[in-house]
Each structure stands twice: as C-alpha cells, then as structure tokens.
Amino acid sequence: MNSFKEMEQFGDRTAVYADRAYSYSEMLELSDTICSNVGERTLVFCLCSNNKESLFGYVGFIRGGVVPVLLDASLHIDRLRRLINLYKPAYIWASSDHQDLSQSMESSFVYGDYTLFECPTQVQHDLHENLALLLTTSGSTGSPKFVRLSYENIFTNADSIAQYLNIDADDKPITTLPMNYSYGLSIINSHLICGATIVMTESSILKKEFWDLCKEQQVTTFGGVPFVYEMLDRLKFETLHLPSLKKLTQAGGKLSESLARKFAALCHQKGIQFYTMYGQTEATARISYLPYEDNMRKAGSIGIAIPGGELVLQDDNGNRITEPLMTGELIYKGPNVSLGYAESLFDLSKNDENNGVLHTGDMAYVDEEGYFFITGRIKRMIKMYGNRISLDDVEAFLHEHGHDCICAGNDDQMVIYTLKEDYVQIKKIIKEKLKLKSFKVMRIKEIPRNHFGKILYSDLPKHG
C-alpha cells in the first residue's frame, strides 16, 4: 500500500508552493529523479527543513521503495556521526552547504539547494519488506531509537486523518511544524493523498512574512503544538483577518483547558473548524481527535479514536476497564500502530513486534459519552514545543559529556539538577547540541535515592 504511487492522477493541480507553484506532475518527476540516483532499495538519511528539496526527496524515496530516515537539518554533527555509525546509510540527502558532509563525502546528485552525499562505507542493508520510513521520537536529541513505520502505517493513518478532517483537493495547509516531526509529516501525507496544495515555508508564525504568505496563497488550514497556540494568543489571533482560513488543528501535547475553550470560542465566531487531537509517533501520528462540534462541550478531552482505530483502558493487572470515569492505561489498536523500534541497522529486518496494539504510557479515563481524557504519563517523558523528550535520554547525553546530572520536569519546563558548579557548561551543551529551550539548571547537595539506589525524583527540590 503506497498511495504516493497514485498521485499521477492529480496531474496539473498544484502540489507545492515554495517560491513558486509546482504541479503534481512536476513534483513527481523531480522526486523520482532524486530517488533514481539512489537506485536500489537501501537506507537514506534526510536532513529536513520545510523546503521543497526535503519534501521532494521524501516523496521520491517513499515512491521508489527507498527507506528514508527523517532528521532535523540542524542536528549537531556529533549526534549525526553517531547515527551514521549505528545505521550506515548509503546516502545523505542534505543542504549542499552542510560543511561536514561536503568535506567528507562525494556528491552524487544535486537538486536546488540540496545534495545527495554518498557515504564512503556502504553496507548491504537487510530491510524488512514492509519497512517504509524511520522517524525519531525525541526531537533534536539525536537519540538512536527510531520508530519503524510501514507503508500501511503511513497511508492508513493519512486516510483516517483525511476522513475526519474532511480534507479535499481545495485545502491549502501551510507548514508550521518540522516535516521530520510525525505531526508535521502527517499534515503533508494526509493532504498530498487528496491532491491538496502544501504551502512550504520556514518562517515562524511570529514573522510578518508568514502571515503575508497566508494571505497571498489563501491558506485554508494549519496545525500547531500548544506553544504555537500560546503564541497565537499573544499575537491576538482574534484580530487577524484571514478570510480563507477554514480549519485549525492542535496536537503535540495537551493544550490548557482555558486556551482550548478560548480558541474553540474564537474559531466558532470566525467560522473556523478547530480540532484538538492526540497521537504518538509509535502510531504514525494520530490516535484520536475531538470533533470540532464538541470542542466547547468537551474542552480538555482527546476525543474519540480515529476512523479504523480503537481506544481501550486497562488496569494494573491488564484487565479491560469498562466503567466510565475509572482511570487506567490508554491502549490504542489500529493499522497505524508501528512495527516497533530500531536502535541500529540490525533492527531494520525485524518483523512487526506490536501487531497493531500500542500501550501509550498515558493514564486516562473515559466519560459516559465515550470521550477520553488524559490524566498523566506513566513514563518519564515530557513534551516541549511539540517534541517528545525522554528525560532519561537527556541524562544519558549529559553523562556522556562528563556531567553527573539528573533531569525532571513537566511539559512547561525541564529541570536539570547538578552536584557541581557546572551550570554554564550544561546550558551550553543543551542549547548548542540538543537545541532545547525552556529548561533550568539547579545545584543540589546530593541525589535523593532509596536503599536500592533508585533515584527518588519526587524528593527533588521543587522548581518554580
């Protein structure tokens, strides 16, 4: 199931606007040319930005059966080298200006501002026949753990999203999220399979040129993580005049109930459909959505399962909870549940380890009408600016750099506790190498532990 192979039907319709309009026919010709320079089915790293080169490369690789690994173009070179060593990609599709790659690798093909760099140490990858794509779960931390996605995962999820959002060929989304992030990619996939037009931009919503482009191209929809909606609130979204805007979507973390209510009311006044949604990369992207008609009445809810999916709750013993308002672990079942994880090239031949069932790690309850509400997370994960961050991954990364630290926090702020006077070095590493924002470094005298040596995170000093 590879729906990108069916896009020829859209012919002269505009597929992408990025400095100019590119029709589906033109996009597919360029995409297939990029992929043809790779040749055989193999592994390719794509260092993505929201530009036509990244998008065309992705479309070409998926159409041609090449397995892309989508990474942030700003990924620190140390992290990139580590991933290259673990996965041994045959090629890297990246900006021609990437100094480290241009100095160490041969160029095999150039399109626009991007070059297909040929990696010097090539291996024969044993790729599972259903493996289509690898996505990271941890933003810019450069974790070696990737989610293994199949063609069925990608396109059943895109179909479900297109169905509940009523996407058609007249829709025009604008990029507000990185395309290497599962939410941002799901917007691209769900619109391309419907013959819609993607407006590509790297401009922030805080820039005048973003809004000028929205008006010029008559954008109909965009999506955002909670931080985007906080910024829209500060920008006084209610005063913005965008008559073409028809749909707004929100995912990538829980929007505060007050802000959810405010945007629901504003969108109702403006005649805009406002959808809040819930998802995980492990389920390709989307798991549930709150129908726009219910966004005032059920503010704070993640809604109902997407078409073709099912949400259930389990207690600590693995028994299904059937009574409303009882909290348990949220379990999702559907064809978009990933094949599993990979931590090196040796995992790329693995079969489907999840069999369509995902333990989300989130605690939730369901109300009497069947709407689900998240109450907390089981694992030590937080979401910052839409990126899911593993506190354990950050700890391990700092330990690699000689800092004995522990991490805690919530979706608003990560706190790094250190035993030494090394605030400046830690801040520098986090900002430059992980490119994370909204964190605080605190010094403590000792790390609280129980008699088994396990860290007692709940006993750490509170942070404000």
Residues 222-254 pLDDT 10s: 999 888 898 899 999 999 999 999 999 999 888
| Residues 365 and 403 reside in one and the same domain | no
* Domain end call among 375, 407, 427: 375
Mean pLDDT, rounded, for 368-379: 86
The residue segments making up the domain with residue 342 are: 3-375
Question: The CATH number of the domain where 285 resides is what?
Answer: 3.40.50.12780
Determine phi and psi for 324, rounding to 5 degrees. -70, 155
Q: 456 pLDDT band (50/70/90 cuts)?
A: confident
Confirm whether 291 is domain-assigned: yes
* Domain end call among 375, 394, 414: 375
Number of domains in the chain: 2
**pLDDT tens across 32-62, in order?**
999 999 989 999 999 999 999 999 999 999 9
pLDDT above 90: percentage of residues in the chain: 70
Mean pLDDT, rounded, for 376-380: 72
| Residues 417 and 358 reside in one and the same domain | no
Distances (CA, A) of 53 to 59, 107, 160, 179, 221: 10, 15, 27, 12, 22
In this model, does residue 454 exceed pLDDT 70?
no
| Residues 227 and 360 reside in one and the same domain | yes
| Residues 158 and 268 reside in one and the same domain | yes
What does pTM read for this prediction? 0.84
Could you give the CA distance from residue 251 to residue 259 in angstroms, rounded to a whole number? Answer: 13
The candidate with the shortest Cα–Cα distance to 136, out of 180, 82, 92, is 180
| Residues 115 and 10 reside in one and the same domain | yes
What does the pLDDT read at residue 263?
Answer: 95
Determine contact, residues 396/412, Cβ cutoff 8 Å: no
Determine contact, residues 277/249, Cβ cutoff 8 Å: yes
What does the pLDDT read at residue 314?
Answer: 94
The candidate with the shortest Cα–Cα distance to 282, out of 419, 131, 405, 134, is 134
| Residues 303 and 415 reside in one and the same domain | no
The candidate with the shortest Cα–Cα distance to 401, out of 431, 426, 424, 432, is 426
**pLDDT tens across 155-213, in order?**
999 999 999 999 999 999 999 999 999 999 999 999 999 999 999 999 999 999 999 99
Average per-residue pLDDT in the chain? 91
| Residues 40 and 143 reside in one and the same domain | yes
pLDDT above 70: percentage of residues in the chain: 97
In this model, does residue 459 exceed pLDDT 90?
no
What is the CA angle 277-219-151, rounded to 5?
Answer: 50
Mean pLDDT, rounded, for 253-282: 92
Determine contact, residues 237/211, Cβ cutoff 8 Å: no
Confirm whether 464 is domain-assigned: no
* Domain end call among 375, 400, 435: 375
| Residues 429 and 317 reside in one and the same domain | no
Beta strands in 379-461 (DSSP E): 381-384, 387-390, 405-409, 414-418, 439-443
